[in-house]
Chain A
Amino acid sequence: MKKLPCVSLCLLAAACLAAAECRKNTNAYVSPTERGEPFLLKNGLTNYVVTWRYTNPSPTQPGRVLVGMPAPVNTTGFSRKDFTSIVLNGIDSRVLEPKKFEMFNTEETSGVDIHYNFDGVPMIQRFAVSDASPLLSMTWRRGAGKPMRPIESLSIRFTVLPCASGRARDSYSREVVTPAGKYLPKGKARWRKRKLSARDTFLILQDAKYQSGQQSPNAGPVVLCPGWKSILSGMVMFGVHQDLYVNFELDPKAESWSFGLLDSEAKRSNADFAAFLKELKLVP
């Protein structure tokens, strides 16, 4: 804990040295079953890789485009395979193929805009980083042009594997910490469903059993900050299962829907991570 002011100073220095940047990641993964379209979003504080994974159609399944986050941490945190998607008017973004990717690098932020068409409703998903924050922002907004139909329903999901993955089945102890309280699993239940409200301005997603630390093989917790202005309701599902889901019903009348995400390769226990967030003033 004593080290935290130092950490903070170091981060600040790093942020000053390296401006935010977005570029195509050179390690585009190609296999017989899929190809990847990865983007690296980095600043002096962090490196995120967000990948659009085009899974090949097979004799039993259609192809899909999944958004994964293999970095900063590969096997934990926001799922490297498929961590977020939306469903608009019943159409899952994973069955769509992005129409185009547009990278941008401005003085303040860098990122990538991904254009989709949901049966006549144009939408843009933006991932961006700014110079001075370790947060990765993700925003959905309406695309240009008049939609052929209104948005009648819109929801978003996140899949997170905080701290550890691939361990014994149902051996986890997932927890959610928000300003409104700490949500613990119900005994050995695989899932606990907990409604979220605007008071849950950020969610620290962590594991009580597989905590990280200097010598630990585990990774630290992650943070999800929902932009409640355009959210109607939310729900988190967690328990002893490996996956932790956060779902939001979004306001279909809003113009955009924003979320902040934080993941780090630094090895921090749950307590250290909470302190780290405070130090950064990312949380009150």
Chain B
Amino acid sequence: MDIRIVLLSGLLLPAVLTAAESRYAHPALNPVTFEEPVGTKKIELVKDGKLNFAIVCDLKKETGKAAMAKHVFRVRRSVALAAEGIGHAFEATTGQKPPVLKPDSPELEKYPFWIVLGDNAVTRRNGLDPSKLEPDEFCVFTFDRGIVIAGKDGSTENLYNALDVARFRVNGTAYGAFDFCERFLGLRYYYPKIGIYAPKVTDLAVDPVRYHDKPFMKYHYSYALGGKKVPGKEQLSDFSPAWRNGACTRYFSSHTPEPRALAKAYPDKIDMLFCRNRAGHLFYNPKAHIGNYFDVTNPKFIDFFVDELTAKFYAGDPKIREAWGKHLPNSEYVPFGQADTYIADVLNDRSRPYIIDSRKNLRTGCLSDLYAHFVTELAKKLKQRFPDKKLATNAYSSRTLPPVRKYDWPDNLRLKICMGCPVMTPSPAYRKAWKNIFSEWHRITGRPVGNYCYGVGTFAITQAIQGRYMGDFIKLLGDDLWKEYIFFDAGHDNRFYYSYYPAYRAMWNPDFDVQAALDEHWELLYGPDAGKILKEFYALLVTTWEKKLIPQIRTVSEDGSVRGNVMPKELYKAFDLKTINRMDALLKKAKKAVRKGSIEEQRLDYFIEPWKKQIVSARAYHMTVTPVYRLLRLGTAERIEVDGDPNDPAWKRAESRELKECQGEEYRFPEKPTVRMMWNDRGIYVLFTALKKPVDNPGEVWKHTDCWEFLASPGLKKDYFYHFGFNPHGDLYQSERDVVEGVGGRSDCTGLQLRSKYDGSGWTAEMFIPFSGLRRKAPGPYTVWFGNVIYSQRRTVTANNMAASFAMTMKNNLNTDLWGQFKFMGYGD
């Protein structure tokens, strides 16, 4: 070793070591780059159970004027987060908290060793200028008085400005500190509170070491929002550096500008802003985000977007700032994105050249050329007016596939492709389809493209394993992926930390060894006995997925590969009853293997919680029979008045069907959501009742409200379906869609009647759906339609929504495989 130091001392740059050459390389940790350390002194941080060091950092630098205090809030104070992390780690492992001193503190000399954090005089004296590192990069090295952990921090440089969103943060030192705690103290940060593993440490001497690391993806952020619902005591004020979550890029694009805010600011321009379909329907919905669609066929919209909306925004016009809504342009990027409205029909004289016949029926490609034309023109216009800004936009929904025609792609256009589903990465068919699409986008635009990929959150099984494939997914996209941006739209649920943890690590470094990390962790969190059982449980999930489900996917079209939807039919063919029973048995066995009242038991209970539902649902699926609702035929003299009152005598004859928990769980809704249906030659009558005052949110059918949905697909082919949804206020959503391709959109069922009434004791609604409004003849007696009726409590946008349904949905209302049958009975039945 000494000889090597002598040899290396003559070199200007430290030599890179292989991982095998450093005792601090660990297969379960991030594969950092080790270099030849300087010096030979061991740094004895803990000796005989006592701390032997102080933390040295300049916290003032992060809060002073230089740091632009206004923009450097908690999650951007990288050095403070690092100091907190180091302090917590030593307290958790030794029971003692190290003091935090300034670099010029006279107290320093009292301590044999220092852990020096971030950019300060001591760090610089030891040869590191953190400002020269790449964003989020950090360096850890020993010197004669201790260890320096310093990275590129936005908080100590004049980096942030008022237009930067919170997730934009450059926190190299914080990432370095958590890496140090993992690597040298043995901590593991799987999830907040009880999800942190901290071993007992009585002696810690660090051999000379030097390494650095940086994220593979600049945007390595996700929905990881902390541990609010996790049991136990909060230990860290921000968990994101422990997860390696952050974003050191300003690139961002979403559904921007916000259509309703824009329409409010420009009421006289609504007709120009929003598009119409051939039937003349204007895609402007003042009541909800969904239902709006900017007129990308109109060159005037481009002029408006640049000359009015963007120009006045940068000029500081507060009215225009409001018109943008939630997501604003920033100092580098101007974002554009449509609302989440699916339409396929925007044919007019302007769009005609860009509507490609071969793409007309592709859900994910029918508008690709129209958009390629639009965004290239928009980017060109933006470049003329704002040469220092780039257009941030997405290939999403009906324009995800690359366009067919050639376009001149300007260099100020940055695109992300909204497709891919990491849990499907083991499938050769999916891999091929994704690779083709990304390569083609790369080729035609002349630059790599960003990615927004999707999780499958409808099943515990997929939630539990999807994150492990993130590294492979990123590696698959390879050079076609723009290393600036990837987003994993999989929500975040700490109960599935063993999926999210590897996903976040893979965004930091796709070579992160998921298997080693998980293999190590079972025993750390749950003890040797239960850990072994849970390891077997997890292996069963992975092998069943890879050996039984993935082989079912023989082919997938590029169009069909976008989301990688997992249907219960395929899932439960792989996870058959035998497998489900085995999973259940293993969890029960693990429960017996932990000591009562221990932290291991607490962690195990938290782990098991979502599996209870999954196992009940899976068993219910395996035993379910497609339900049938028999719609009695109204007698020739019978009448139903659609007034929201269930008092028509005819309803007494109708079968009263109480809806059940949508995943087959045993939970009974106290409000007893019940549906009744009847029919005659004119149409279908539906009566909805729930014995509880509903949550109403006028104007919103899908958010923060209770709602009813009625879905029906005439005949047996399930080729298309009608979808009606309404809230207690009576706001109605209606659409008609192709089941397979999803093509379609909002419809207008002429003659539909809906009356909704509620008071303190309950909610009743009556709906009449005329066959003529569906453009269909009346069905013959005893014919069958597929469909479903769903009662939802949509209290939040994403999670914890409760739903009861006529046929199980498994949390996917468009899960037509599980839909029940509506049988049209005859006279006299």
Contacts and interface: CB of A to CB of B under 8 A. Distances in A.
Given A58-B626, A62-B716, A90-B780, A120 B826 contact: yes
A6 to B, nearest CB: 51
Interface string B207-241: 00000000000000000000000000000000000
Contact of A117 (B817, B823, B828): B828
A211 B817 CA distance: 46
**Which of B625, B819, B826 has the most C-beta atoms of chain A within 10 angstroms of its own C-beta?**
B826
A122 interface: yes
Given A57-B628, A62-B784, A95-B782, A120 B828 contact: yes
A121 B828 CA distance: 8
Contacts of A121: 828
B821 A57 contact: yes
A32 B782 CA distance: 23
Interface residues of B, number: 25
Contacts of A120: 826-828
Nearest to B827: A120
A53 B725 CA distance: 37
B107 interface: no
B628 A61 contact: no
Contacts of A117: 826, 828-829
Interface centre among B718, B780, B816, B827 (most CB of A within 10 A): B827
A119 B829 CA distance: 7
Contacts of A148: 827-828
Contacts of A96: 782
A279 B140 CA distance: 106
Given A95-B782, A96-B782, A119-B782, A59 B826 contact: no
A203 B827 CA distance: 37
Interface string A109-152: 00000000111111000000000000000000000000011000
A63 interface: yes
Interface in B779-829: 780-782, 784, 786, 816-821, 823, 826-829
Given A57-B625, A59-B818, A60-B716, A122 B828 contact: yes
Given A61-B716, A91-B781, A119-B781, A56 B826 contact: no
B828 A119 contact: yes
Interface string A27-44: 000001000000000000
Contacts of A91: 780-782, 826
B637 to A, nearest CB: 12
Contact of A59 (B623, B628, B819, B828): B819
Contact of A118 (B625, B716, B826): B826
A58 B625 CA distance: 7
Nearest to B636: A148
Interface string A228-263: 000000000000000000000000000000000000
Interface of B: 569, 623, 625-628, 633, 716, 718, 780-782, 784, 786, 816-821, 823, 826-829
Which 7 residue pairs are nearest across A and B when measured between Cβ atoms? A119-B826, A120-B827, A62-B784, A57-B626, A120-B828, A119-B781, A95-B782
Interface of A: 32, 56-63, 90-91, 95-96, 117-122, 148-149
23 contacts: A57-B625, A57-B627, A57-B784, A57-B820, A58-B626, A59-B816, A59-B817, A62-B628, A62-B716, A62-B784, A62-B821, A63-B626, A63-B628, A91-B780, A91-B782, A91-B826, A95-B782, A117-B826, A119-B781, A119-B826, A119-B828, A119-B829, A121-B828
